[in-house]
Amino acid sequence: MKIAIIGAGLSSATLCQSLKALGTLTIFEKSRGVGGRMATRQGIDAAWDHGAPCFIARDGGFKQFLQPFLADQTLTEWHPKMTTLGLNQKPYKRAWFEPHYVGQPTMNQWIKPLFAGHAVETQCEIESIYGAPGQWFLASVDRAHGPFDWVLSSAPIGQTQTLFADFNFSLTARYQPGFTLLCQMPFSPSWDRAVCQDAVVAEMIRSGRRPGRRPANTLVVHAQDQWASEQIASAPAIVEQTLRCAAEALLNTEFDSAKLHRWRSAKVIEAAATTHWLNPARQLGACGDWGGTQGVESAFLSGKALGEALAKTLITLPK
């Protein structure tokens, strides 16, 4: 059984775990590595976790799934020194009320072993799918890949809708877009994470002070959701400048450098009607964080649900 999986985030990694004994898996990922939105950008002597800064685990199955990674310390609890910042306001301390997890030394470190033993084609964006059940081909810019018995997409729902447009994929979900600024600071404040009372800046996180990171004066600035939605079509240079000025004003400093990253689909704000999608007649399926509104945990639950449903289908199909 040959199975193609589009995307290499956590939902895909979870799917790989469920399906590893059932066939040969080939994963196609458009970016340079695995992890998807659990992302760390590397610089010279510095790194920025510019995607999900951390995640929580409330589901018992997800908590159990995380245990080996907490044991080998590629995943750890994050206990940042928190503060609240606002213009002309005195900072005050805030505390977590449940465990928050981070990968170390990078956000995707713990996800890498979940793809071990499978072919992962990175820098390979799938543009379309053609063929028929059992004979699917995936087209990237310069070649066709296949044939595959099954094709499963773990891309955000917009990309999956495009890829499966001809195959009755009718689920919808709504994402919050986001802007993140990757900065170098000239000084080292005493906090690790600052929640901001500001119209433009939502929070700031000191990347170089996170678990397992090399010490550096690196800062990640996340924009407010409402402001990001209003600015999504604006010129990146203007967004970068506005976000930078707002963050510099809150810290009363000037950054050494700042670079903008735009997330068209950052977090799900309205989930799809089902956790996953499986069409046994066409031999197609889909999963992703769009199955819920709990971010990383929803990605896990969706990948697991699709894996279990597909495993059940494969076992009952006539040989």
Q: Which chain residues interact with ligand FAD by CB under 6 A? A: 6-12, 28-31, 36-38, 51-55, 125-126, 154-156, 159, 178, 180, 222, 263, 266-267, 288-289, 295-297, 299
Give the nearer residue to ligand FAD in terms of CB position, either 64 or 128.
Answer: 128
Shortest reach from residue 182's CB to ligand FAD, in Å: 11
| Closest CB to ligand FAD among residues 103, 189 | 103
Q: Is residue 131 a contact partner of residue 146, using CB atoms and an 8 Å limit? A: yes
**Residue 315: CB minimum distance to ligand FAD, A:** 25
State in angstroms the smallest separation of the CB of 90 from ligand FAD: 26
Closest residue to ligand FAD: CB criterion: 36
Closer to ligand FAD by CB, 98 or 252: give it.
98
Contacts of 216 (CB under 8 A, 6+ apart): 45, 46, 47, 184, 207, 208
Identity of the residue, 51 or 103, whose beta carbon is nearer to ligand FAD in the bound complex:
51
Cβ nearer to ligand FAD, comparing 26 with 187: 26
CB of 303 to ligand FAD, least distance (A): 7
